[in-house]
Structure 1
Amino acid sequence: MNLQFGQPEPGHNYEDRPTAFGLVLRDGLIACVRVDRGEGSYYDLPGGAIDGDETEEDALVREFVEETGLTVRAGDRLGEAGQYFLKSDGRAVNNLAGFWTAEVEREDPDAKVEDDHELHWLDPHRALAELRHDAHAWAVAIWLRRR
């Protein structure tokens, strides 16, 4: 992985964390999740860590359901990028993320299990400005340029 965002903070040992995130478009808007952290709330693309023997596509589908209640089908892989950051629990990680396009196959709000995540549909240009991670904004920019 050659493209890396964020700066490691001194005194932290960053754990590489394979992840997958997706871009879903509906009526000109991108699916994002607002993660509730009180005054420190933020937007991310739906997705997250790859568990066990999952593929990126498997993780993408599982994470979308858990965070949004949307069942998606992975499309094209846009690229990959790393993102150094401190998780809300203080753990230092480097998300090694594959970014994918995806399409909604089904909606089931009751399937969503992450209570602190809320689905928001954002204009892509607003998403560029609002997404917490530069790697996520980069993926949106790449997606916009290829459309």
Structure 2
Amino acid sequence: MSKDHITSDVAFIKALAELLNQNELTEISVKREYGENDTLNVKVAKQSQIVQAAPVSYAAPAAAPSAAPSAPAAPPAQARADPAAHPGAVASPMVGTAYLAAEPGAEPFVAVGQQVNAGQTVLIIEAMKTMNHIPAPASGVVKRILVTDGTPVEYGAPLMIIE
């Protein structure tokens, strides 16, 4: 194999990597033939890593002090055990990227402690360049938000708790 082949192959592989990124592909496989016994088989792949974010609780806005402290809705051990098992869990209906606001820098759709109505948009999941509004399944108060803005989510993953 000549030095020209090596230089052009490196450029070819770089072009494939750019093509992979520009078209949001995960893998490209190409066979390039130079002659009878001179071929190049190239497979360029992205290592896909979906990270499930640890549950994050946001503090509720400061409220006026009350006479009696309120009791927690669920024991802390149960709340940390499996948020998906909670009866008020809002599960992701699809795989995608969760966004808590309509656009970067905008106010989030909901906050912990906020009252929501059934059908109200609580977040957006982007899947295949489509923004899908996720509605509250029932009226109630947002107790926990389990994802952060821009987090990849899986189908069925708990997104928030509404009681």
Interval of TM-score (by shorter of Structure 1 and Structure 2): under 0.3
Higher helix share: 1
Higher strand share: 1
**Which gives a bigger RCO, structure 1 or 2 (Cα 8 Å, sep 6+)?**
1
| Structure 1 length-normalised TM | 0.24
| Larger Cα-atom Rg | 2
